[in-house]
Structure 1
Amino acid sequence: MSSTPVLATLEDFRHASSEETRHVYRKVAWRVLPFLFVCYFFNYLDRTNIGIAQLQLRTDLGFSDAAYGVGAGLFYVGFILFEIPSTLMLDRMGVRKTLLRIMVGWGAVTCLTALISTPTEFYIARVLLGCAEAGFLPGIVLYLSYWFPVQRRARITATFFVAIPTSGILGSPLSGWILQNFSGTMGLHGWQWLFVLEGLPSVLLGLLAWFALSDRPGSATWLSEREKAIVTHALEVEHKAKADRGHESLGSVFRDPRVWIISYVLFASFMVANTLTFWSPTIIHNSGISHVVNVGVLAAIPPLMGIIAMLLVGRHSDQHMERRWHTVIPMLCAATGLALLPVFRNDPVLSIILLSLVATGHYSSLPTIYSLPSTYMAGGGAAGGIAAITTLGSIGGALAPSLLGFIRSATGSFSLGFQLYAAIVALGAITLLCFVPGRLLGEETKPEV
């Protein structure tokens, strides 16, 4: 018999010391988050490296702005089709099998993108990449909810989401360096080497996920029985608290007006994300920066600002158990930056500053947006809700790059597109504030000290 004390009841759980609880969650965070962070880093890098690759790819293959924009957005076709079923599969099959399937698939497609030679092949590659990646982000957000209660979830989600701007900070210069230094090696273009060298790590990480992760706290051999009980009981308390306002089925998710409102907020957020991701290098280049390596380095500045804001906003949101204003204010900042970008498009310094404002607003709102569904959903409803919101929101990601490409091709500038996107983002912030009261999200819950 083990001598380790186990929390047999909820009353035992309530008497677990604050220091003991903090120690358990630090242990869980250090075990789970670093690996997921690296996975998401390469996930976002493989999804968005087309933003740097297109500086050479469009010239080499003769792609127009419109063709590039369509291809960038077509990623979301496969993504939208398979997002919900893939996330539900994670809830049933576990994270290890799911990440093995997803990461090996998207890594292989990224490598094969080096073989494209026509717009049609480019479109097919982007659709297949979306199919392969579908379910990764909502699946991981769901997976984190298996380990961390709502009072800790925004800061944990923020830490995970730091992988997005980190991918910009490290990935943009890396991609620029590959383009500059590998061009002509073994008869391949620099953009071809970029896809191969940045796709292979995802395949390896998918294989490692089988050994590095545990599907649930109960199967974590690296936790003691008492530590498992602390984590499990915290989630049981949360689950019971959601009984009156949560969802237990996928059907009930789609009947909830909050799901549609949060989906629109994420729709607006994804429009900002893909504007930053796919067009920031072009914006910086057009402002007067010609050298491709310098473009890559400068493109890393806005994500760096986003990291700082994301961590601060996530922690502050948890401390006050407030999600709406922590989403609305950053989104309005992003809308302001988008609206002003056309005015200063020929000034490289102000262009970087405004891109940083957009990035800061966008990145710092992401953790709170993704914390909204699991605040009041439970069980199958949480899995379906997170996936549904991500799926519906992804329509914004699909439209953003292609629409902006068409607008630029038609008008010769980004001005109209940026102003349109600024209005969409501002409307999303106002809609959330007006139509989703805090009481419906359980914001009356007392924050954990």
Structure 2
Amino acid sequence: MTPVDPDPVEASAIRKVAVRLVPFVALMFFINYLDRTAIAFAGPNGMNADLALSAAQFGFASGVFFIGYILLEVPSNLALHRFGARRWLARIMVSWGVVAALFTWVGNAESLYVLRFLLGVAEAGFFPGAILFLTQWVPARHRSRVLALFYLAQPLTTVIGAPLAGALIAGGDGLFGLEGWRFMFLGVALPAVVVGVVAWFYLPDRPADARWLDAREKAWLTAALEREAAETAGKARHSGSVRHALVDGRVWCLAFVAFGFIYGLYALAFFLPTIIAGFEAGAGQEFGVWETSLVTAVPYLPAAVVLYLWCRDATRRGVRTWHVALPAVVGGVSIPLALYAGSPAATIAVITVTACAIFAGMPNFWTFPPRFLHGAAAAAGIALINTVGNTAGFAAPYVTGALADLTGSYHVPMFGVGALMLLSALLMVRVSRAARTDAVTTERTSR
């Protein structure tokens, strides 16, 4: 059913949240994703050679981040629920900025592993905390559009961040006696500290604290969100219980859907620059750091456009299961096809389709957990989904690198990525059917 047009107070309130709040949280996400993936730009641009890293070692260093991240994800999100987003998100940003700056002086593979692990510890809870924070500000009918604006930061991190990283590597080589890749680590770390300090003063914890909302807008937002929370609590099996949220089958099913999407995302993010380096060898061409960063950014600009248009359609129609499942199918089929494209241009074109699919599905995916989770259960459930999903962040780069070393090509690991994304599509259909069955059972019980 197509949503009705909002009244003027509703439209004004949502517009102000979209303008005043979402871009700042998206900026935080931009810096977050850039810092965690900076290693992908450093690796083929001097770090792997200087630290004598094999593909498997680079993959392990890329993925070990997620061990620390996963261990503290749920506790961090529960702390955010208790202490408030403003304090906790600001604390997370400053912590990871300090750790990220230490990569400037990494000396060997072992110290790289330690710093990547600590970076994961420092960043734990940011993404699910940001999702939880935004859902506490935006009623369900507007979440797809708002989460799309937030999620644009991820593909734009590569569109803007890849050339930025390339410029820092090329332009910073020799500055302060540092290799270019070391200067790049320093350059992308410092903004996290600065923005983290600003977040402490800028972010309001709830609509009632927002000075940029008038009294009517505050009242409407507060009432709408409280009404939705009450309705969700009435439908929930566990009435906000953290314990039951952690064993809810729907939560775990969504967690494995996220695993497939995130596996595909990080397989691309960490190895696309390396795959591009293979183009050079195969075609007898040589790209500079700047050219490589621009080629790396190519798939992500159309991905940002498709993300926005797909989520706009989801907002207009109401988010349906196929808004998540169909992108998973497209990504699962397209990514192995990139191996047979026959030319660098064709390969990048197919990878672009994969990137569009991954980024189109994820914002709509995150509208599903708040449909049956609220309060502390939402904090725990969303964190658990993100935790399980992000185990793919460890598995994807490590398994991809290890299989590439073992087989001498990226064929086997890329077929694995495709299979996992197709599994995500099947699981999304399954959890949707289970939700419909639960709704029918609840309705019959209430009669």
TM-score in same-fold range (> 0.5): yes
Question: Residues 62 and 201 of structure 1: is their aligned pair in 2 closer, same or farther, counting only changes over 3 Å?
Answer: same
TM-score by length of 2: 0.93
1:385 to 381, 384, 394: 381
Shift of 1:368: 1.3
Instruction: Name which of 258, 267, 271 aligns with 1:275.
Output: 267
Give the aligned partner of residue 302 of structure 2. 305
| Equivalence for 2:328 | 331
Please report how far the alpha carbon of residue 17 of structure 1 lies from its aligned counterpart in structure 2 after TM superposition: 6.7
Once the two structures are superposed, the pairs formed by residues 191-340 of structure 1 within 5 Å of their partners are 191-246=181-236, 247=238, 248-288=240-280, 290-291=286-287, 292-340=289-337
- Residues 349-373 of structure 1, C-alpha deviation per residue, up to 9 Å, x if partnerless? 0111111011001001110111110
Question: Deviation of residue 214 (structure 1)?
Answer: 0.1
- The 2-side partners of 1:20 and 1:229 are apart by 10
1:115 maps to amino acid: W
**Structure 2: runs of 5+ lacking an equivalent:** 441-447
Partner residue, 2:165: 175
Letter of the 2:23 counterpart: P
Q: Please give the alpha-carbon distance, in whole angstroms, between the structure 2 residues aligned to 1:370 and 1:99.
A: 19
Greater mean alpha carbon deviation, residues 90-99 or residues 17-26: 17-26
For 1:225 and 1:185, the matched residues in 2 are separated by: 52
Which residue number in structure 2 is paired with residue 12 of structure 1? none
Question: Does the CA-based 8 Å contact 1:245-1:377 persist in structure 2?
Answer: no
Measured in 1, the distance between the counterparts of 2:317 and 2:436 equals 14
**Corresponding letter in the other structure for 2:388:** L
Matched ranges for 1:111-150 at <5 A = 111-150=101-140
Structure 2 partner of 1:10? none
Q: 2:417 aligns with which of 397, 414, 421?
A: 421
Once the two structures are TM-superposed, the CA of residue 243 in structure 1 deviates from its matched residue by: 2.6
Q: State the alpha-carbon separation in 2 of the partners of residues 312 and 179 from structure 1.
A: 34
Structure-1 residue corresponding to 2:21: 32
Residues 310, 364 of structure 1: 8 Å contact kept: yes
Q: Deviations over 1:193-230 (max 9, x none)?
A: 00101100000000000111101112222222221110
1:67 aligned residue? 57
Distance (Å, rounded) in 2 between the aligned partners of 1:434 and 1:261: 8
* Contact 1:373 1:385 (C-alpha < 8 Å) held by counterparts: yes
TM-score by length of 1: 0.92
Distance 1:441 1:337, change over 3 A: farther
Structure 2 SS opposite 1:215: coil
* Change beyond 3 A, Cα 1:99–1:254: closer
Question: What secondary structure sits across from 2:367 in the alignment?
Answer: helix
CA distance in 1, matches of 2:130, 2:414: 31
Are 2:354 and 1:358 equivalent residues in the alignment? yes
Identify if the C-alpha distance between structure 1 residues 347 and 27 changes in structure 2 by more than 3 Å, giving closer, same or farther. Answer: same
Q: Where does residue 13 of structure 1 map in the other structure? A: none
> Which whole-Å CA distance do the structure 2 matches of 1:254 and 1:87 have between them?
13
Q: Compare 222-231 and 406-415 and name the one that shifted more.
A: 222-231
Q: Distance in 2 between matches of 1:28 and 1:419?
A: 41
Partner of 1:160: 150
For residues 322 and 361 of structure 2, the distance between their equivalents in structure 1, rounded to whole angstroms, comes to: 9
Q: How many residues get paired?
A: 427
Structure 2 residue 19 is matched with structure 1 residue 19 = no
Instruction: Note the aligned Cα RMSD (angstroms).
Output: 1.6
Distance in 1, matches of 2:213 and 2:437, equals 34
Find runs of 4+ consecutive structure 1 residues off by over 3 angstroms: 440-443
- The whole-number CA distance in structure 2 between the counterparts of 1:334 and 1:441 is 30
**Structure 1, unpaired ranges of 5+:** 1-15, 444-449
Report the Cα offset of residue 442 of structure 1.
7.6
User: Are 2:328 and 2:422, in contact at CA under 8 Å, matched by a contact in 1?
Assistant: yes
Distance in 2 (CA, whole Å) between partners of 1:262 and 1:398 is: 18
What amino acid maps onto 2:279 in structure 1?
S
Q: Which residue matches 1:8?
A: none
Structure 1 residue 406 corresponds to structure 2 residue 402: yes
SS in 2 for 1:287: helix
| Partner of residue 90 from structure 2, selected from 86, 100, 122 | 100
Aligned partners of 2:75 and 2:193: how far apart in 1?
22
- Report sequence identity in percent: 35
Indicate the residue corresponding to 2:75 in structure 1: 85
SS in 2 for 1:214: coil
Q: Does 1:374 align with 2:370?
A: yes
Moved more, 332-341 or 39-48: 332-341
CA spacing shift, 1:324–1:184, aligned 2, 3 Å = same
Q: CA deviation at 1:114?
A: 1.2
